[in-house]
Amino acid sequence: MSLNDTPISQISTGVGGLDELLRGGFIQNRMYLVTGEPGTAKTTLAMHFLHEGLANDETVLYIHGEESAEELKTNAAQFGIDISAVEFLDLGPDSDFFTEDSSFDLVDSSNIDQERYTEVIHEAIEEIDPERVVIDPITQLRYLETSDYHYRKRILSFIRFLKKRGVTILATATLNKNQNASADIRSLSDGVVTLSRVADGRRIEVKKNRGIGQIEGDHGAEIRSNGLEVYPRIRPEPSDREFDPTPVGSGIPELDEVVGGGFERGTVTFISGPTGVGKTTLATVYLAQAARQLGKSVIYLFEERIETFEHRCRSLGIPIDELREEGRLSINVIEPGTLSAEEFAHKVRREVEEENAETVMIDGVSGYTSVIKGSEDGLDRDLQSLTRYLINREVTVFVTDATHQVTGLSSATSHDISQIADNLTFISYVEIQSSLRKVIGVLKKRTGGFDSSFREFEITANGVQIGEPLTEYSGILHGSPQAGEPQQRGHKSE
C-alpha cells in the first residue's frame, strides 16, 4: 500500500459547524491546538470534544490546571453538556500551597515538579488508556521546564507518547499580547483552530489541518444555550440542475401580464421602491401564491413587527394563517444584532435542506445590513453568496429593497447589488395632476419578455390592484409625469 492509499479516519469535534470547516472533523490520532484570548470559548470547545467521545463510548481524559474538576463540570452543565464521566487529572496546585511557608534552598524546585508531574501524567495515561485527551491549557507544562528548549523537547516527547497509544489530542493555549500562541506548539500541532471576539461578535478560523486541509477564512461562531455553535460561511456550489422555466405568478392577472406571465422558478427578484410604497405587500402576494404552487415558502422580516405584518396581510385577504396551518408558510422576525451573516444563512439553509422550502423572501436589504452583525460591504457580499446558493438549489427568491428617493427612480437598488437580481421590479410614487399616486414597472427580466409600460399600483381593501398602462404620460421615471402623445406598448427581454 502506498502512502497515498493510507486511510484517514476522522472523528467529530462535537461541534457540527467546526467539523464542516475541517472537512469532516479531527483526524484520529493527531494533535490539535485551539488558541484564543481569554473568554473566547476554548474550554467550551474542549468540553464538546470530550462529550462527543463519551457519546461514542470512548474513554476520555481531561488534563487541567486552571479550574478544578468540579468547576469544569458545573460550567459544562450550564450548556447541558454532561462531562461527569470524564476522567480528570488536575495539575494545579492545592489550596494549601497559598498558606504554606516558603523557604529557599539549593534545590531547584522546578526539577522536582517536572519529575513529579511527568510521573503522574504517565501513570494516568497508562491506567486510563484514553482515546481522547484534552490538555487545558498546554502552556501550564511550560512552567515545569527550565528553558524553551526543554519545553519543546518535553512537549514533542509527550505528543509522540500519546499518538503512539492512538490518542487524539486537543490542547488549548491563550494568545499573548502579540496575538500569537507559542510558535513551538503551533508547529508541532497537526491542526490549529483560532477563536476570537470582535466588535461584531465571535469568529472562528481553522489555520491549519494537515492531511485534508480546511475551508479557508474566518467564520461565524456564537455561544448559545447548548454551548459553542459554528456557522461556516455559505459557499455556493456549482449546480448541474437544468433551469426550470416554470413561471411563479402573483394570482393577479393584470400584474402577471406586466411581468410576462410571472417570474421563473429559481430566479432572484428584487422589488424596489421608497418606504411605505407597498414592496412587502407585493412580495408577500407572490410568496402566498408560490406556497400554493411550489410548496413551502419562508419569509424573513428585518424591519417590521410580526403583529403589524399579520394584521396587514389579513386585512388585504392574503391567507397567511391558512398557509401557516397547512405548513406551507413560515414567518421569521430577525431581531437586531442577534445573528451574524453566517448564522442567518445557516437558518436559511436549514429551511431549504431540512424543511424543503421552495421560496424565500428577504424583507429587505437595508434591514438586513442594519440588523445582521458585520460591515456593510461584507454583508452585501454575504447576501450575494446566499442568493447564489439558493438559486443553485432552484429556490425562488424575492428581496425587497428600499430606495432613498420618494418619487422617481435614480437607481435600481439602494446598494450596488443589482447584478445578483434576475428580475427587477419597482414601485414608485409619482405626482399626477397634483395628486400623489403609485406606479409599477419592470426594469429587467433575464429569462423572458415583459410589458415595458408603467401601470398604476394601488393597495385597497380588496388587495393589490393594477391599473391600465399609463401610455399617455412620459417622464414617469423622473417622478413628475407629463401628459403627451400615447406611447407604444412593447415587450422586451434581456
Residue 1 lies in a domain: no
Which of 231, 263, 292 is a domain's end point? 231
Question: Is residue 310 assigned to a domain?
Answer: yes
Q: Are residues 255 and 214 in the same domain?
A: no
Last residue of a domain, one of 202, 231, 260: 231
Task: Look at residue 338 in the predicted model and tell me its pLDDT.
Answer: 82
Mark whether 221 and 268 lie in a shared domain: no
Is 157 among the domain residues? Answer: yes
Specify if 237 maps to a domain: no
CA–CA distance, 43 with 49 (Å, rounded to integer): 10
CA 362 to chain CA centroid, nearest Å: 15
Residues of the chain with pLDDT under 70: 1-6, 93-117, 142-146, 176-182, 239-241, 374-378, 405-418, 473-494
Q: Domain of 14: which CATH number?
A: 3.40.50.300
Cell of 182: 507559542
Looking at the fold, whether 189 and 274 belong to one and the same domain comes out as no
Which domain range does residue 89 map to? 6-95+107-231
In the listed set 231, 266, 295, which residue is the last one of a domain according to the structure? 231
Q: Could you check whether the bond before residue 137 is cis, i.e. omega within 30 degrees of 0?
A: yes
pLDDT number for residue 115: 57
254 shares a domain with 191: no
276: preceding bond cis by omega (within 30 degrees): no
CB-CB neighbours of 326 under 10 Å = 12
> pTM score, two decimals?
0.81
**Amino acid in the structure at residue 317:** G
Q: Which residue, among 223, 163, 216, has the nearest Cα to 188 in the 3D structure?
A: 163
Tell me if 150 is assigned to some domain.
yes
Give the residue among 120, 125, 175 at the shortest CA–CA distance from 144.
Answer: 120
Coil, strand or helix at 443: strand
43 sits in which H/E element:
helix 42-55
Q: Residue 306 has what pLDDT?
A: 94
282 plus 425 within the same structural domain:
yes
Query: Comparing C-alpha atoms, which of 192, 153, 157, 146 is closest to residue 172?
Result: 192
For residues 160 and 285, state if they share a domain. Answer: no
**Number of structural domains found in the chain:** 2
d(CA 136, CA 86): 14
